[in-house]
Amino acid sequence: MFDETPDLAAGEAMAVASDRLPTLLRLARGLCAAGVLAWLFVAGLAGFAVASPDTSFSSFVESLWPPAQARGITRATFDAAFKGVTPDPALIGIVDRQTEFVKPIWENLASALSVQRVSQGKAKAAQWADMLARMEKVFGVDRYAVLAIWGMETGYGAFIGKQNVIRVLATLAYAKYQGDFAKEELLDALDILQAGDVTPAQLRGSWAGAMGQTQFLPSSFKAFAVDFDGDGRRDIWTSVPDA
């Protein structure tokens, strides 16, 4: 989507993006399951309903302990993750206001391909040129595809979400959203905490539980996250190379 030539005209920039479309599609299929699944969250949550009031949330949380323990989660990690966590009553209202479903697709595309976003993409391509070259060599992934995803998902890390991911996923799981889907994502989030890549306070994301600068769901983090900056942690929140 982005070109390294500073004076490239807008039309030429779009031509570059079009030439790279097959790569974008391959990457979207292979590495962007997180974004796709997050969109599926939006579509499915139209029928979201919180479990009946007589269903104890604390009992629900405790029911997660046996499967969590079976995964190797310690009681200390489990208790730290759920400390002070309650269901989020605002979740439905947030879902109802998602721009993907209240604006025509062309308005969203116009925003996605704004002059400002393309300009920012060029700047990021220059700033991280060495890292992107190494990434292409190691993974065989086109740098412009990665830049496009990074820009689309969070505006190059500017808007990564501030929601407590454990709370979001616990709310969805408590509501029995799409069967066990949210529950499995919640257990995957506990795996991430157990691995020590991030603390409960740092495990922040979107209303749907998508995390970091590339908006991975916990299952996608487990499948694809890497420690690309070599600091011993997979940090897609604050480390651009890892993201």
Residue 163 neighbours by CB distance under 10 Å: 22
Positive/negative CA dihedral, 4, 7, 10, 11: negative
Residues 6+ apart with CB under 8 A from 82: 61, 166, 170
Structure tokens at 143: 């740098």
Q: Which helix (H) or strand (E) holds 163?
A: strand 163-164
| 95-96-101-103 Cα dihedral, nearest 10 degrees | -120
Report the phi/psi class of residue 40: left, alpha or beta, with left for phi > 0 and alpha for psi in -120 to 50. alpha
Q: How far apart are CA 214 and CA 2, in angstroms?
A: 17
- Which residue among 12, 107, 136, 153 is the active-site one? 153
Residues 6+ apart with CB under 8 A from 66: none
Q: How far apart are CA 18 and CA 161, in angstroms?
A: 30
Q: Is 100 known to be catalytic?
A: no
Burial status of residue 107 (CB atoms within 10 A of its CB: 0-12, 13-18, 19 or more): exposed
For residue 198, give the nearest of 184, 218, 183, 178 by alpha carbon. 218
Q: Which residues belong to the active site?
A: 153
